[in-house]
């Protein structure tokens, strides 16, 4: 690496890694989610499809972060890992139970991760009636991005008609 910067080498290396991480996200969205796979002269339709893909990417990222909060999982590995299962809905009385059977080689860790998500969502559902929508989202995102937030908790703050999520110091 050649530079005329006076910054320490360790800082430059970290900045390069951070830039590569950002580029990896765009590469993933383009190549694994199809962001670059549609062309039309109708700009509004292109924008809608791009927003839809970005929304699905964001939802999948939150889901995989709930399953494996320690690291980002790319779609090329996380979709086969977390989606390839045979499901059966069992209804008994007032209960509806979704039973998933995975034939994946890593079925045991997948089961633990999905059970962890289910336990978290059950706890959230038990308290969500008393909480506002913004608080529920703050709790969900705080758990999903615990590594990125370094354990900090997001707290919603009412600021006029809109709600702003702010990191607590």
Q: Are residues 84 and 142 in the same domain?
A: no
Q: Are residues 93 and 166 in the same domain?
A: no
pTM of the model: 0.70
For residues 141 and 165, the answer to whether their CB atoms sit within 8 Å is yes
Residue 2 lies in a domain: no
Phi, psi of 39 (to 5 degrees): -140, 135
Each residue's pLDDT tens digit, 83-139: 888 889 999 989 898 888 888 888 888 888 888 898 988 888 888 777 788 888 888
Domain count for the chain, please give it: 2
Residue 1 lies in a domain: no
Of residues 110, 163, 57, the one with CA closest to residue 49:
57
Each residue's pLDDT tens digit, 47-83: 888 899 989 999 999 999 998 888 888 888 888 888 8
Q: What is the DSSP string of 60-126?
A: HHHHHHHH-TTS---HHHHHHHHH--EEEEEEETTEEEEEEE--STTHHHHHHHHHHHHHHHHHHHH
Q: Are residues 95 and 117 in the same domain?
A: yes
Residue 138 lies in a domain: yes
């Amino acid at each position: 690496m050649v530079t005329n910067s006076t910054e320490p080498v360790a800082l430059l290396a970290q900045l390069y890694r951070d830039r590569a991480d950002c580029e990896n996200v765009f590469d993933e969205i383009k190549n694994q989610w199809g962001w670059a796979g549609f062309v039309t002269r109708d700009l509004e339709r292109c924008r809608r499809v791009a927003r839809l893909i970005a929304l699905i990417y964001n939802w999948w990222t939150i889901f995989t972060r709930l399953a494996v909060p320690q690291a980002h999982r790319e779609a090329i590995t996380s979709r086969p890992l977390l989606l390839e299962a045979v499901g059966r809905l069992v209804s008994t009385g007032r209960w509806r139970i979704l039973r998933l059977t995975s034939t994946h080689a890593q079925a045991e860790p997948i089961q633990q991760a999905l059970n962890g998500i289910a336990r978290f969502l059950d706890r959230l559902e038990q308290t969500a009636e008393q909480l506002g929508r913004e608080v529920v989202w703050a709790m969900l995102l705080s758990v999903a991005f615990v590594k990125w937030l370094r354990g900090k908790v997001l707290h919603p703050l009412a600021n006029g008609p809109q709600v702003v999520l702010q990191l607590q110091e």
